[in-house]
């Protein structure tokens, strides 16, 4: 049987595809034009997907109808192994040779890092972060450090302007918690009723997109990855601003508010246009309502019938609140401050932060949790048998299951030690919505998995690794019927409020260009004339 290797753009994953039938008439009918082959795919995280070739890409639907995407062909020949997969260009062997040669010039021995006291990942030896700034916007409490610098683990808390996230979540009114949080992060104090009403009006006034933006920028060029699309659309907004390079702090606030109001619309429409252009679904565009909160508008814009319950909107509002900020040291916020410190425009800084957030070690981890749990559910049949779950967890940690990284996604955190307050909050909110939706068996399975994971991680890693925000956020989004490709964009919709707040704060109170140092540890050479080189 011959194979083709394909690279799945949506999942960033490689699949081995075997041809079982060419010119299948049924599939050709399904996809109308260009259908030329009917193939069966066995992937790492999807089984038995039926595909149709589509010029140099193929569209697929899984046989349970729940998965779909587009593959790009990389190589179309008989192959024996799928271990090493890469895009093949004519000049690939030439480049590969240069790359091999370069290894002797690039090698940096590990011991040099400790010799020169380099803080890898900007972390101190005890795992805490290197201090790179001061902030009054928010604080992440994950441990207690005494006067001697000894770190003691503790239950985590997240403070926005000194208010605990637990209090902010508990005291929300009418699904406008996110709007209240934005106000708090941007201005530093909790709004009274009147102030919040005015602020909600300011946001609602900015929901609508500039003339022709929808046709020219959104519908005109859909993308497979919604985070990349959000970056492109954010940069496009620069062109619709009559004073885009103005980095005055008050101007930054005005531009930032515009982005906070528009990002939900951009993400939802980018998703709808992808469904339409890539998957040939009907195009559904609901305009945001001025009398809806951002959480309610997201559900309105995503759902074909625009309907949702109060509890659903409440859960999404909570998700936005808990993702809004996370101190100045989280990667995308630090990126925003680093890029902003050059004096560049806000659109460029936010675009850089979006790129940082996309990464699987940062905002993209929520997708990894979701796909890992899909595989866990498939292997265990969602059976709460503890021994079975333990075996699956051990297999993941041993690199035998899921993405073979040995990481159990949704556990562990760079700052939190005993618990992540966001996970604690989400667990209860998920339990609540699961009850309403008759999904308690799913929730109980997650809870059993979580408890067993703690036991296994303690045995293997000899220290507690807390459940992090991403473990329950995926379950929450899936209970809201939100597809996993929107998980990270939803994170961005919330976090842009933190990015803008830190950007303004840094402009006001630091203001210097971020410019750390690196030590040159290479050799010195006398220049060699080209004719004399070997
Ligand atoms: C979040 C994360 C990157 C923090 O990394 P970190 O600051 O290096 O974490 P720690 O210092 O506590 O790690 C201690 C050890 O436990 C391991 N570890 C941490 N989290 C782990 C996990 N979820 N699964 C398996 N091993 C893990 C680390 O690899 C390290 O092992 P080592 O000492 O043998 O190298 C890490 O926990 C992780 O990768 N988690 C999974 C991805 C995830 O859920 N990310 C979302 C974060 S909100």
Q: Is the CB of 362 under 6 A from ligand 1?
A: no
Q: Cα(461) to centroid of ligand 1, in Å?
A: 10
Q: What are phi and psi of 510, to 5 degrees?
A: -115, -75
The closest alpha carbon to 337, from 462, 509, 453, belongs to 509
CB 138 within 8 A of CB 160: yes
Distance in angstroms (rounded) separating the CA atoms of residues 214 and 208: 10
DSSP state of 67: -
E strand or H helix at 183, and its extent?
helix 177-187
Q: What are phi and psi of 148, to 5 degrees?
A: -85, 0
What 3-state class would DSSP assign to 38? Answer: strand
pTM above 0.85, yes or no: no
pLDDT value at position 92?
Answer: 55
Q: Is the CB of 413 under 6 A from ligand 1?
A: yes
pLDDT value at position 45?
Answer: 37
Sorted by sequence, the CB contacts under 8 Å of residue 112 that are 6+ apart come out as 118, 521
**Structural tokens at position 302:** 């995503």
Beta strands in 273-399 (DSSP E): none
Q: Cα(410) to centroid of ligand 1, in Å?
A: 10
Mutate to test the pocket of ligand 1, among 123, 153, 402, 412 (most ligand atoms within 8 A of CB): 412
Q: Cα(497) to centroid of ligand 1, in Å?
A: 27
What 3-state class would DSSP assign to 190? Answer: coil
Q: What are phi and psi of 54, to 5 degrees?
A: -140, 85
pLDDT value at position 101?
Answer: 81
User: How many Cα atoms within 13 Å fall on the side-chain side of residue 36?
Assistant: 7
Give per-10-residue mean pLDDT for the chain (534 aa). Answer: 40 42 29 34 37 41 44 35 35 70 85 95 90 96 89 95 98 95 98 97 96 90 87 97 97 98 97 89 95 98 97 96 97 97 97 96 89 92 90 95 91 94 97 94 96 96 93 94 95 98 95 94 96 92
**Structural tokens at position 65:** 């109808």
Q: Report the b/e string of 215-235 with b at 16+ CB within 10 A.
A: eebbbeebbbbbbebbbbbbb
């Amino acid at each position: 049987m011959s194979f083709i290797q394909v690279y799945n753009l949506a999942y960033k994953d490689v699949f081995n595809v075997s041809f079982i039938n060419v010119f299948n008439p049924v599939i050709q009918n399904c996809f109308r034009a260009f259908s030329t082959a009917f193939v069966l795919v066995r992937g790492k995280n999807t089984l038995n997907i039926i595909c149709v070739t589509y010029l140099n890409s193929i569209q697929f639907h899984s046989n349970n109808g729940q998965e779909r995407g587009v593959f790009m062909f990389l190589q179309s020949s008989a192959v024996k192994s799928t271990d090493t997969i890469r895009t093949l260009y004519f000049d690939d062997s030439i480049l590969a040779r240069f790359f091999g040669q370069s290894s002797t010039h690039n090698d940096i021995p590990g011991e040099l890092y400790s010799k020169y006291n380099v803080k890898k990942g900007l972390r101190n030896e005890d795992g805490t972060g290197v201090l790179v700034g001061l902030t009054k916007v928010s604080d992440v409490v994950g441990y207690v450090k005494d006067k001697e610098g000894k770190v003691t683990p503790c239950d985590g808390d997240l403070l926005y302007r000194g208010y605990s996230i637990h209090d902010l979540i508990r005291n929300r009114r009418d699904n406008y918690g996110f709007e209240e949080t934005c106000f708090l992060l941007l201005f530093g104090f909790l709004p009274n009723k009147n102030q919040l009403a005015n602020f909600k009006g300011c946001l609602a006034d900015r929901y609508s997109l500039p003339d022709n933006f929808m046709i020219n920028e959104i519908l005109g060029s859909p993308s497979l990855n919604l985070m990349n699309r959000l970056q492109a659309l954010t940069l496009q907004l620069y062109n619709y601003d009559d004073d885009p390079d103005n980095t005055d702090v008050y101007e930054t606030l005005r531009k930032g508010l515009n982005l906070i109001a528009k990002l939900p619309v951009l993400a939802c429409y980018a998703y709808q246009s992808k469904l339409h252009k890539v998957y040939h679904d009907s195009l559904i565009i609901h305009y945001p309502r001025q009398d809806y909160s951002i959480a309610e508008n997201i559900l309105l814009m995503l759902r074909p019938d625009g309907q949702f319950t109060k509890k659903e909107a409440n859960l999404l509002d909570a998700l936005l609140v808990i993702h809004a900020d996370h101190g100045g040291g989280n990667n995308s916020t630090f990126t925003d401050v680093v890029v902003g410190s050059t004096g560049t425009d806000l659109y460029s800084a936010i675009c850089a932060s979006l790129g940082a957030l996309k990464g699987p070690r940062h905002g993209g981890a929520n997708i990894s949790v979701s796909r890992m749990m899909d595989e866990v559910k498939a292997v265990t049949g969602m059976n709460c048998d503890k021994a079975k779950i333990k075996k699956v967890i051990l297999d993941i940690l041993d690199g035998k299951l899921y993405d073979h990284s040995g990481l159990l996604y949704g556990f562990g955190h760079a700052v939190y030690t005993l618990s992540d307050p966001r996970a604690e909050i989400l667990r209860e909110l998920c339990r609540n919505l699961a009850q309403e939706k008759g999904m308690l068996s799913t929730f109980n399975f997650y809870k059993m998995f979580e408890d067993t994971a703690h036991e296994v991680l303690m045995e293997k890693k000899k220290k507690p690794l807390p459940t992090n925000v991403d473990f329950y956020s995926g379950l929450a989004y899936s209970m809201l019927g939100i597809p996993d490709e929107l998980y990270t964009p939803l994170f961005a919709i919330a976090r842009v409020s933190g990015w803008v707040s830190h950007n303004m704060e840094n402009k006001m109170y630091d203001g210097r260009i971020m410019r750390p140092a690196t030590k040159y540890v290479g050799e010195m050479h006398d220049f060699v004339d080209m004719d004399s080189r070997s």
